[in-house]
Structure 1
Amino acid sequence: MRAVILKEEIQIPDTVTVRINNLEVAVKGPKGEIVKNFNFAKGIIITLSEDRKKILLETNFADRRKKALFYSIISHIENMIVGVTKGYRYYLKIIYTHFPISVKVVGNEVQITNLIGEKNVRRAKILPGVKVTVKGDDIVVEGINLEAVAQTAANIEAASKISGFDRRVFSDGIYIYKKEVIE
């Protein structure tokens, strides 16, 4: 069954300003600015209310896919608002049982050495706008863009993945264990 008209509103906090140009949404807050382009979402209208306190989204004759896209865009915009007001933080744990793994941040990449005694250096890309710090056996990934923070944490986890060993015995690697909104 198609929904004839879908309308939703997103409240904008006082500390946040939103700029909308066609389907490009820019959210600016105390922690920074995020710009995201939703040009792929044809048939969805994104506007600001007259008092600039709400973001209005509207679509007509939405089938299942268009409805899913509509609510995904709402989630993206809400994540952008939370990001510029609070920020996101992911925690990763360095686990080793056989050889001590050394991790360091060099430029825009994380370098992982001595993973299961390997001599080569494994590299994980840090996306722009993301800050990575290594504290003992913990790695903290912080930023205002949820997608960039999550992808950077996933890059680090994927770079430390080992193959050819029994995972029950060789659990060495770097794993995400906590995700939070910075308060």
Structure 2
Amino acid sequence: MRYPRVITLALESEVPIPEGVKVEVDGSKIRVSGPKGTLEREFHSELIELSIEGGKVKVRTYGKRKFNRAYLGTVTAHIRNMMKGVTEGFRKEMVVVYAHFPIKVEVDKGRKIVKISNFLGEKLPRYASIVGDTEVRVEGDRIYIEGISKEDVGQTAANIRLATKIKKKDPRVFMDGIYVVR
């Protein structure tokens, strides 16, 4: 038998819905649609309640615990990022840096990987996976990563950076790699 929730303290946060964005709430699941695409996410149903009231998404939590307040802020930030993603999108720029061996970067959209060849003169290429519906473009020594999900864009950039991480050598001397510029 489940006991009814004891309401001790209700904390609330609001996220305004911008023009051209459609938001659907089903329990703890939220779906945000906009001109660039659709994002869907599910949150912990026992900690928060989601509702749409007066052109705003209301996020509500109950309880006095510090964790509940922190989770409320996290959910609010995720919803804000979803709305920004479907309207503006997210973008990261990376730069390819090498001292002696020119690094060649290719994108295989079919396999959703980034192939990094001739890194430090290695014979075998290194690979980094592309997460979600993120688009990766290579122009000269710059790599542009774009998408509607902030997490997917950031994880794709991290995968590329980690693929060129040099181990067991001094990073001040061996600075070859691919780095995030902005």
Pair in the same fold by TM > 0.5: yes
Quote the residue 1:173 is aligned against.
Answer: 177
SS in 2 for 1:158: helix
Quote the residue 1:59 is aligned against.
Answer: 61
Measure the CA separation in 2 of the matches of 1:16 and 1:134: 31
| 1:54-73 deviations in Å (ceiling 9; x for gaps) | 10111122311111111100
Quote the residue 2:25 is aligned against.
Answer: 20
Measure the CA separation in 1 of the matches of 2:64 and 2:82: 24
CA contact (8 A) 1:47 1:56 kept: yes
% identical equivalent positions: 39
Measure the CA separation in 2 of the matches of 1:20 and 1:42: 15
Measure the CA separation in 1 of the matches of 2:136 and 2:64: 41
- State the shift of 1:41 in Å: 4.8
Measure the CA separation in 2 of the matches of 1:16 and 1:44: 22
TM-score normalised to the size of structure 1? 0.91
Measure the CA separation in 1 of the matches of 2:104 and 2:135: 18
Measure the CA separation in 1 of the matches of 2:138 and 2:95: 10
Measure the CA separation in 1 of the matches of 2:151 and 2:128: 16
Measure the CA separation in 2 of the matches of 1:4 and 1:126: 42
Q: RMSD of the alignment, in Å?
A: 1.1
CA contact (8 A) 1:41 1:69 kept: no
Alignment size in residue pairs: 173
| Structure number having the greater strand percentage | 1
Alignment of 1:23-172 (within 5 A): 23-38=28-43, 40-49=44-53, 51=54, 53-107=55-109, 108-172=112-176
Measure the CA separation in 1 of the matches of 2:153 and 2:45: 24
- Which consecutive segments of 4 or more residues in structure 1 shift more than 4 A? none
CA contact (8 A) 2:103 2:119 kept: yes
CA contact (8 A) 1:132 1:140 kept: yes
| 1:3-49 deviations in Å (ceiling 9; x for gaps) | 822011111012000011111110000110000111x3522111111
Measure the CA separation in 1 of the matches of 2:30 and 2:64: 22
Measure the CA separation in 1 of the matches of 2:171 and 2:100: 13
Letter in structure 2 aligned against 1:147 = E
SS in 1 for 2:181: strand
Letter in structure 1 aligned against 2:16 = Q
Letter in structure 1 aligned against 2:126 = R
